[in-house]
Chains A and B, each alone.
Chain A
Amino acid sequence: MADLQTAAPLGEVSEFSADGGGAVLQVRPDFAMVQVFAKTGKAGELAQKLDIVSDPGKAGDTSSFAALPLSPGQWMLIADNANANTFGQEITEQISGLGYVSEQSDARICIRVSGPNARDLMARGCRLDLHPSVTAKGFCAQTQMAQVGVLIHQVSDEPAYDLYVYAGFARSFWHWLTETAAQF
């Protein structure tokens, strides 16, 4: 394990709560993330091997990671409290001969949006319909908010959403998100 000092894209910032208590933002640390590609023609086998679903918009949950389908034959696998080095290796070994693994643990930050006005806050930037009749826990989508690409994972019916945003945009996105959330 590395003994080096690590630095997060948002620095020391870890949480924001709107004064009115309507929205809470939490920066989630310590997740491991890999993008998995099925070899051409092997998507079904790979999904079976990892016990994950391939339906668009539906995140599958195994005991050790969430699997968000990104496009035909591609998934983002996300594991909580995992070591980035070992998680990638484990998956690589599991799908040997069926697919490929790109390490992405550092590529994005994760911000959890929750609170009574979580959906209202999302609607300030997200073009998707997140009404409870449309999305529920386990919903996932790639879209844009405030001109930034976002991978959304709805983690509870409450609702709460995990937003995965590229590290370079972290500060800019956080700035927009907190300025907007402050009204709640």
Chain B
Amino acid sequence: MTRQVNRLDAGGAWIDRDQPLKFKFDGRIYPGFAGDTLASALIANGVKLMGRSFKYHRPRGVLTAGSEEPNALVELRTGAYREPNTRATMVELFDGLIATSQNRSPSLKFDLMAVNQLFGRFLTAGFYYKTFMWPASFWESVYEKIIRRSAGLGRAATAEDPDIYEHAHAHCDVLIVGGGPAGLAAALSAGKTGARVILVEEQPNAGGAVSPTRDEIDGIAAGAWVAQAISELDAHENVTVMTRTTLFGYYDHNVLAALERVTDHLRAAPDHQPRQRLWTIRAKQVVLACGSHERMLTFDNNDLPGVILSGAVRKFAERFGAIPGRRVAICTNNDDAYETAHLLKVAGIEIVLVADARSTLGPAGQQALAAGIRVETGILPAYAHGMQRVSGVSLQNIDGNFTEKVACDLLAVSGGFSPDVNLASQTGAAPVWRDDILGFVPTKPVARERSAGAGNGVFDLRNCLIEGHAAGLEAAKTAGAKVGRKGSAPKAVSREITAPVAVWRCPGKGKAFVDFQNDVTAKDIQLAHQEGYVSVEHVKRYTTLGMSTDQGKISNVNGIALLAKARGQDIPEVGTTRFRPPYSPVAIGAFAGHERGKNFQPTRRTAMHECHEKLGAVFIEAGQWLRPQYYPQPGETVMETIWREADQVRKTAGICDVSTLGKIEIFGTDSAEFLNRLYINGWKMLAPGKARYGLMLREDGHVFDDGTTSRLADDHFFMTTTTANAAGVLAHMERASQVLWPDLDVHFCSATEQWCGVAVAGPNTRKILGNAFGYAIDLADDALPFMGVRTFQWRGVTARIFRISFSGELAFEVNVPWRFGAAMWDAIWAAGQDHELVPYGTEALNVLRIEKGHVAGNELDGRTTAADMGLGRMMSTKKPFVGQKMAGRVGMTAPDRATLVGIKLVQETGRLRGGAHLVLDKNDANAETSLGWISSVTDSPGLGCWIGLGYLKGGLPAHEGARIHAVFPMYDEAVEVEICSPHFFDPDGERLNG
């Protein structure tokens, strides 16, 4: 295997040198080790160029070692598994991994769009707002194409995502976010109280920013201590440690969301294992130990590959034994970079110098000097030299005077540390600025949380451990755990820290980047301010500072500081933007979980589903239900099928599954009174054994729902609702009984699935049902008159039969318990074979009800009144009911309201369409002249022409017999129609008796 040029011979706490791997980047095969990230393996192989920037397509290398990475974004995997914008620093290496750089064409090294750099002065802040403004016609044809081509940040896969994602729920007393020293100390102290603790760590290994070899905790190397802490936590049954898990959202009432990357680190997910799992965690108390993000110094050309944050260089060396250079210059404004210097020196890397922006040396600097490292004070970087990788750096003093140029192949920079206040800020607690550490820290919590460690502005290891320990105890105690012996915090030696110095812009006139991913420079922020964008929230949106996938983790403070400078104010006066979820990008698939495609929502099947399948039914979704739409025969068109079904119901008999109607069983001595108050018509006089059509209004007086309700006994009713409104009607009734009239003795529950039902309609119905039920029930007119209801025993099964009709034919609906549904269908089907029984679906049902002028969902559109539907006289004046007063308002009873009419197509050609407007003159059709609309249409086999129902101003009294026009501007159609009674077919209802 090829030598990994930048891999140290030893070291690398996270890698397993006994497990060599191969991976491919931009078509070339490289070696790496198990435990590597894609970024560390590329570094080990001497690859510096990993991506191109968003706007200018500038060459970019890795900047960080974590999820805040703005530069090294790659497309991972191939085909349907392809995922854009994955951060190379977060991608764990597996054998055979394939990654591709993005935002470049044709290749990473030679990118045509990099010409944007030359026009850089045109691509400044607010570029999009300014440039692509006019002419408007250019928007779709020209500008959009240019923007899409140049601004694309990776390509999403076009095939359906083959991975499994799932959701999961967790509860705990104490949730600890972050497995660094503070988080571990918190988990240990909280875990010992017996509280239920969850610790989430974004990386595959705990430890955070602690140095495994150079730091010591409790007298042993910090790396060993971390391993010991984890095994101690694992031994606690009440503690769960979740690695590879990013806490990305902190929501109301201490509900938090985390993404667990279950199998992303594997070449392929094992069978049935999800790729990622989205956790919803309800925590009584939270400890935020999120650490900090190192900042870049803002100097010219600071985005050159090979310019890397100092702490990241250290992490690559310690975790992976990979160092992105052999000759290192270090620029810093704080003590931390000296740790990097020491580490690299021990590893045998040449340290050119440490340029410290501060004017005097503190203890850390003195130690470096003593170790033989060249340290210069009061020195800043001026310019990074090199084409596609750094070859040297020019230095300057704080007044901007050039001092020297040094050659290097790695420039490690530290611009200070920003405590990671993202999650605390999500709760609404505004961070406050601390001048001594040059960072925002969380302020008084508004949620049940507290911060600890570097995330709270505490950078000294000893104090991190003390604070973490205390936070864990306090959280456990507040959550209700019994805290006995408090124990002591893990011990570490304190280090004297010299305060950092504020350097927000190293003197220079070139491109000094603040937000690397969105190519926002120091100049852009100045320009935005000049143009009047003063508020930090406005500057963010105008310049896109902090709006990319890294959400400003590195750039925010630098940007705010530059804005403050431009405004001539202090940073606290400018304040910070509020962070919002997600903390880092989450795949849409993880949010969807199981709920995609056919599983987007659950489906409901009736007891007779398989009977319909056997008869070749085509199903349609009605809410969540699957209902037979029609039952095609070979060679038929859809319309032929529907006509045949409808025609045969009228001529012989048809059977239809009506199980999906909402069914509510109502009990209680006040049931009739209750129904009286809900329905517009009266119920007290309804005798047991009788059914009645009922109409409900909403409180605002508009029609809510309709259905047939039967009285089975004095204190027992059986209500049906429309399929679509079943849940709504139940909720409406619950409000009425619980909130409005709790004193009534009325009780009810859904019986929709207890009972399944069929409607059998047509002249042959009696013969068929008589035979099917073995004459267990007398179907004669005098035994079971229209609107009669009977309960009968059919071979030991309790069945209910209702003589009601939606089709206008002689019809019965029969209900049996679910388990006998298929048997009932089969029995009726068998009995119907001699009587030309046909199964009919929702389409034929629609034809039949339109022919009868029966209203359905299309007519109950939430704007109609009972009177609009021609049912005004049903409204009782002898009793109050819901919606009564509001239905009586002037506007609800105005004579010019659009009311229900029948519509017949009178011309030979053309058709009716639902949604068409009714106008007197097709040549004068507009919103003002529209008199109404068509709600339902059908090409009626019974009448031999197109008919429809609709609402027309003035209704039948004004227009009966009139010929007007139905216009459908979308298709530029206009047809002549006649207005008639909606009762097209058998207006006197003679067929109801067979």
Measured between alpha carbons, how far is A84 from B743 in the docked complex, in Å?
A: 32
**Chain A 8-31 interface 0/1 with B at a Cβ cutoff of 8 Å (1 = within):** 110100000001000000000000
**Quick check: B607 and A7 within 8 Å, CB to CB?**
yes
**Chain B 665-680 interface 0/1 with A at a Cβ cutoff of 8 Å (1 = within):** 1011100000000000
**Quick check: A4 and B749 within 8 Å, CB to CB?**
no
Measured between alpha carbons, how far is A5 from B611 in the docked complex, in Å?
A: 14
Measured between alpha carbons, how far is A129 from B752 in the docked complex, in Å?
A: 30
**Quick check: B274 and A102 within 8 Å, CB to CB?**
no
**Contacts A4-B823, A147-B601, A168-B604; A9 near B169 (Cβ below 8 A):** no
**Contacts A1-B796, A102-B751, A183-B273; A168 near B605 (Cβ below 8 A):** yes
CB distance from B662 to the nearest CB of A (A): 12
CB distance from A166 to the nearest CB of B (A): 5
**Contacts A4-B795, A7-B822; A127 near B754 (Cβ below 8 A):** no
Q: Which one of A48-56, A60-68, A103-111, A155-163 is at the B interface?
A: A103-111
Question: B282's closest neighbor in chain A, by CB?
Answer: A129
**Contacts A9-B607, A104-B754; A2 near B171 (Cβ below 8 A):** no
Task: Say yes or no: is A126 at the interface (Cβ < 8 Å to chain B).
Answer: yes
Measured between alpha carbons, how far is A176 from B752 in the docked complex, in Å?
A: 23
Measured between alpha carbons, how far is A35 from B749 in the docked complex, in Å?
A: 8
Task: Say yes or no: is B606 at the interface (Cβ < 8 Å to chain A).
Answer: yes
**Quick check: B753 and A5 within 8 Å, CB to CB?**
no
- In the bound complex, residues from chain B placing their C-beta under 8 Å from that of A167 are 607, 753, 818
CB distance from B165 to the nearest CB of A (A): 11
**Quick check: A168 and B743 within 8 Å, CB to CB?**
no
- In the bound complex, residues from chain A placing their C-beta under 8 Å from that of B742 are 40
Measured between alpha carbons, how far is A168 from B607 in the docked complex, in Å?
A: 8
**Quick check: A84 and B817 within 8 Å, CB to CB?**
yes
**Quick check: A2 and B595 within 8 Å, CB to CB?**
no
Measured between alpha carbons, how far is A102 from B624 in the docked complex, in Å?
A: 24
**Residue in contact with B167 in the complex, picked from A125, A128, A129, CB distance below 8 Å:** A125
**Quick check: B798 and A176 within 8 Å, CB to CB?**
no
**Chain B 607-640 interface 0/1 with A at a Cβ cutoff of 8 Å (1 = within):** 1001000000000000011000000000000000
Task: Say yes or no: is B272 at the interface (Cβ < 8 Å to chain A).
Answer: yes
The B-contacting residues of A in range 84-140, CB under 8 angstroms, are 84-85, 99-100, 102-108, 123-129, 131, 133-134
Question: A76's closest neighbor in chain B, by CB?
Answer: B749
**Contacts A7-B821, A106-B819; A123 near B751 (Cβ below 8 A):** no
Measured between alpha carbons, how far is A6 from B921 in the docked complex, in Å?
A: 60
CB distance from A8 to the nearest CB of B (A): 7
**Contacts A6-B820, A168-B604; A108 near B599 (Cβ below 8 A):** no
Measured between alpha carbons, how far is A117 from B813 in the docked complex, in Å?
A: 46
**Quick check: A168 and B817 within 8 Å, CB to CB?**
no
Measured between alpha carbons, how far is A19 from B270 in the docked complex, in Å?
A: 12
**Quick check: B797 and A2 within 8 Å, CB to CB?**
yes
Measured between alpha carbons, how far is A133 from B820 in the docked complex, in Å?
A: 43
- In the bound complex, residues from chain B placing their C-beta under 8 Å from that of A84 are 817
Task: Say yes or no: is B602 at the interface (Cβ < 8 Å to chain A).
Answer: yes
- In the bound complex, residues from chain A placing their C-beta under 8 Å from that of B443 are none
**Quick check: B602 and A146 within 8 Å, CB to CB?**
yes
CB distance from A180 to the nearest CB of B (A): 6
**Quick check: A183 and B607 within 8 Å, CB to CB?**
no
**Quick check: B667 and A37 within 8 Å, CB to CB?**
yes
**Residue in contact with A100 in the complex, picked from B170, B280, B668, CB distance below 8 Å:** B668
**Contacts A40-B668, A108-B753, A180-B166; A172 near B744 (Cβ below 8 A):** no
**Quick check: B796 and A2 within 8 Å, CB to CB?**
yes
Name A's interface SS.
Answer: loop
**Chain B 790-833 interface 0/1 with A at a Cβ cutoff of 8 Å (1 = within):** 00001111100000000000000000011111110010000000
**Residue in contact with B795 in the complex, picked from A2, A128, A146, CB distance below 8 Å:** A2
**Quick check: B745 and A3 within 8 Å, CB to CB?**
no
Task: Say yes or no: is B731 at the interface (Cβ < 8 Å to chain A).
Answer: no
Question: A41's closest neighbor in chain B, by CB?
Answer: B745
CB distance from A177 to the nearest CB of B (A): 10
Give the contact-size bracket for chain B: 35 or more
**Chain A 148-184 interface 0/1 with B at a Cβ cutoff of 8 Å (1 = within):** 1000000000000000001111111101100110110
**Quick check: A100 and B667 within 8 Å, CB to CB?**
yes
**Quick check: A103 and B817 within 8 Å, CB to CB?**
yes
- In the bound complex, residues from chain B placing their C-beta under 8 Å from that of A85 are 796, 798
Question: B604's closest neighbor in chain A, by CB?
Answer: A168
Task: Say yes or no: is B747 at the interface (Cβ < 8 Å to chain A).
Answer: yes
**Quick check: B747 and A131 within 8 Å, CB to CB?**
no
**Quick check: A131 and B715 within 8 Å, CB to CB?**
no
CB distance from B353 to the nearest CB of A (A): 55
Task: Say yes or no: is B360 at the interface (Cβ < 8 Å to chain A).
Answer: no
**Quick check: B169 and A127 within 8 Å, CB to CB?**
yes
Question: B743's closest neighbor in chain A, by CB?
Answer: A40
**Quick check: A107 and B751 within 8 Å, CB to CB?**
yes
- In the bound complex, residues from chain B placing their C-beta under 8 Å from that of A127 are 169, 280
**Quick check: A147 and B602 within 8 Å, CB to CB?**
yes
Measured between alpha carbons, how far is A129 from B715 in the docked complex, in Å?
A: 40
**Quick check: A176 and B599 within 8 Å, CB to CB?**
yes
**Quick check: A7 and B819 within 8 Å, CB to CB?**
yes
**Quick check: A171 and B605 within 8 Å, CB to CB?**
yes
**Contacts A1-B796, A9-B607, A39-B745; A103 near B754 (Cβ below 8 A):** yes
**Quick check: B602 and A105 within 8 Å, CB to CB?**
no
The A-contacting residues of B in range 567-606, CB under 8 angstroms, are 594-595, 599, 601-606
- In the bound complex, residues from chain A placing their C-beta under 8 Å from that of B753 are 106-108, 166-168
Question: A133's closest neighbor in chain B, by CB?
Answer: B196
Q: Which of B282, B744, B754 has the most CB of A within 10 A?
A: B754
- In the bound complex, residues from chain B placing their C-beta under 8 Å from that of A168 are 604-606, 624-625, 752-753
Task: Say yes or no: is B168 at the interface (Cβ < 8 Å to chain A).
Answer: yes
**Residue in contact with A4 in the complex, picked from B164, B610, B820, CB distance below 8 Å:** B820
- In the bound complex, residues from chain A placing their C-beta under 8 Å from that of B755 are 106
- In the bound complex, residues from chain A placing their C-beta under 8 Å from that of B601 are 147
CB distance from A156 to the nearest CB of B (A): 20
- In the bound complex, residues from chain A placing their C-beta under 8 Å from that of B795 are 2-4
CB distance from A96 to the nearest CB of B (A): 12
- In the bound complex, residues from chain B placing their C-beta under 8 Å from that of A35 are 749
**Quick check: B604 and A169 within 8 Å, CB to CB?**
yes
Measured between alpha carbons, how far is A123 from B240 in the docked complex, in Å?
A: 15
- In the bound complex, residues from chain B placing their C-beta under 8 Å from that of A173 are 602
**Quick check: B820 and A123 within 8 Å, CB to CB?**
no
**Residue in contact with B749 in the complex, picked from A102, A148, A180, CB distance below 8 Å:** A102
Q: Which of B271, B604, B794 has the most CB of A within 10 A?
A: B604
- In the bound complex, residues from chain A placing their C-beta under 8 Å from that of B610 are 7, 11
**Contacts A4-B795, A4-B797, A106-B754; A131 near B196 (Cβ below 8 A):** yes
Can you pick out 16 interface pairs between chain A and chain B where the beta carbons lie within 8 Å of each other?
A2-B797, A3-B795, A5-B822, A6-B820, A19-B272, A37-B749, A40-B668, A99-B747, A100-B747, A102-B754, A105-B817, A106-B817, A106-B818, A107-B751, A124-B169, A173-B602
Report, nearest first, the 4 A-B pairs whose CB atoms are least far apart.
Answer: A168-B604, A100-B667, A37-B747, A2-B796
A-B contacts besides A6-B820, A40-B746, 7 pairs, CB < 8 Å = A2-B796, A19-B272, A35-B749, A105-B754, A106-B818, A176-B599, A180-B594
